[in-house]
Amino acid sequence: MASATSLTMGAEIKKEKPWVRFGISPFGLWRPGYPEGTGKGALDPFDAIAADSLKWLRNGWCDYLAPQLYWSIDAPEQSFPALLKWWAGQNTAPRHLWPGLSAATIAPDGRRIAVTRAREQSPELAGKLQAPLMELFPAEGNE
């Protein structure tokens, strides 16, 4: 279901406005165990919600993929650099690959930004996405 929706949505956007970039920000894990040793006990988005984000990336169904990599550098089960490197290795289309970062966790662990900057020599890895915006610019009542 999610794969068919992604393919259809991307095609419709390109038909109407070919200059608009269509991207997806899936779970940071494609499936637990990919890469080896990560995601033990984590939700499997492939099984749970039919989200085959690896298929979307490899088939070029989106202009960019921003896997939600909210974990710290040192997290043993979900290591930010290990997952980013794994996603980069799967990017055979190639498409832009920008890690999705949580604005709420930037200050405690700014090393993730250093990792993304180190990878920006490659055009498809040049960038990152921050979410949610309210974390960067908190308004009264959003705290």
**What is the per-residue pLDDT for 16?**
94
Write the single-letter amino acid at 72: S
pLDDT in tens, 15-46: 999 999 999 889 888 988 888 877 777 888 88
On whether the CB atoms of residues 122 and 91 are closer than 8 A, the answer is no
Q: What is the mean pLDDT of residues 71-77?
A: 70
Percentage of residues in the chain having pLDDT higher than 90: 17
- Can you give the pLDDT at residue 124? 53
pTM: 0.75
Q: What is the DSSP letter of 62?
A: S
Q: How far apart are CA 5 and CA 102, in angstroms?
A: 25
pLDDT at 128: 61
Name the band, by pLDDT with cuts 50, 70 and 90, for residue 69: confident
Q: pLDDT higher for 78 or 58?
A: 58
